[in-house]
Structure 1
């Protein structure tokens, strides 16, 4: 009799689990990518569970090979940042030439760090933008902690910050090497004077690992 009761209990639990259906889906795993530049390799991981729109946008450029031949063209160091209240240190790249503008996708909605829970600490990758919701292909990687780029930070007057979506997992020495390149190329834009690389660093490929 006791054995029958045990079997009924086990069967009852199995029926309950079947009726309840599968549990909640696991959050998407971090996506590893490898960026090869003409100064070395940078490895990153992207967080689709934190910034799904931004990661999907970046990966579309990656999967379609649109970043091949793009460049890092701007670097910001303490000595070249004219903003004394919220100085930053970053390298910026992406599809920036007029000849390649046709390769860019439409702008994406802005995912703030208040939503994603990410912060612009050392080695974080984030989207460059003008106004909120204007990001397309250009991105930057932070060198050191740059929390003024977060939501509510002092760097951008609109207070919305920038959309962080991943971080460097290997090759920060390459990031710093890029940041240290000569950057006195002529420019008509006053606020980036001293930040434009004399020889842009080519992005050879970005691919999923």
Structure 2
């Protein structure tokens, strides 16, 4: 199954891995079906430039986005760890953002380059549980890279990049 993010900078097509990450894919699809990402944004870029991740010893490269303002998130989902799914945070992988384990709701991120520190056992999150990867970009990495290099104040994209809609393909 595939989904297409139609952004103001172009399209990003992702292939969803429902076989290995069924909980995360089902979660993403419920937001997509509710049209919650329509009018949402990519609002964060995390880069390895000196001023982007001050105080972080483990640096990553991702873009992060989510639903439109005012959409009430569904309850959080259980964390599907990469040591169980086998989906590693490689270049173009899409994953659920979270704070603590079992806290992911609607926010997603896409890896720019390989990001092993986001996998189970990685050191980006102090709990070492990693993040729930659930698919990969199959078309539109040039759009991901353009968003990643867009103007930001610290990690906040300025301006945010609009997600016009997300549709199933």
TM-score by length of 2: 0.95
* Counterpart check, 1:66 vs 2:66: no
Which of 140, 143, 152 is 1:174 aligned to? 143
- Describe the SS at the equivalent of 2:83: helix
* Counterpart check, 1:150 vs 2:87: no
User: Which string of whole-angstrom CA distances, capped at 9 and with x for unpartnered residues, describes residues 82-114 of structure 1?
Assistant: 3553210000000274x33x2x11100110001
- The structure that has the greater radius of gyration is 1
Gaps of 5+ in 1: 1-30, 185-193
Report the Cα distance in structure 2 between the residues aligned to 1:70 and 1:200, rounded to whole angstroms. Answer: 9
Q: Is the 8 A contact 1:85 1:154 kept in 2?
A: no
Moved more, 59-68 or 120-129: 59-68
Higher helix share: 1
Gaps of 5+ in 2: none
- Count of residue pairs the alignment pairs up: 167
TM-score by length of 1: 0.77
Higher strand share: 2
Displacement after TM superposition at 1:163 (Å): 0.3
Show structure 1 runs of 4+ deviating over 4 A: none
In the TM superposition, what are the counterparts of 1:1-209 in structure 2 within 5 Å?
31-79=1-49, 80-82=52-54, 85-95=57-67, 97=69, 99-100=70-71, 102=72, 104-184=73-153, 194-209=154-169
